[in-house]
Amino acid sequence: EGSRVAASAGPAAQAWGAAAPQAQPQPTRPVPAPAFTAPGSREEDVQQATNVRKKIAENMLRSRHSAAHCATWDEVDMTNLVTLRARLKERVKATYGVGLTYMPFIVKAVVRALRESPVLNASMTEGGEIHFKKYYNIGVAVHRDSGLIVPVLHDADRKTLLQLAQEIEDLGNRARADKLQLSDIQGGTFTITNAGMFGATASTPIINYPEVGVLGVHLIQERPVVRDHRIVIRHMMTLVLSFDHRLVDGTPAVQFLHRVKELLEDPESWLLDSI
Catalytic center residues: 245, 249
φ/ψ of residue 196, rounded to 5: -65, -25
Rounded to whole angstroms, the Cα distance separating 87 from 81 reads 10
- List CB contacts of 213: < 8 A, sequence separation 6 or more: 120, 121, 190, 191, 207, 241, 242, 243, 244, 248, 253, 256
CA pseudo-torsion sign 206, 220, 101, 104:
negative
**Close Cβ partners of 244 (under 8 Å, ≥ 6 residues apart):** 67, 68, 69, 70, 124, 207, 212, 213
Q: What is the DSSP string of 193-253?
A: EE-GGGT-S---PPP-TTBSEEEEE---EEEEEEETTEEEEEEEEEEEEEEETTT--HHHH
Residue 57 DSSP label: H
Other C-beta atoms within 10 Å of 270: how many?
14
Q: What is the DSSP string of 6-19?
A: HHHH-HHHHSTTPP
CA distance 136 to 190: 8
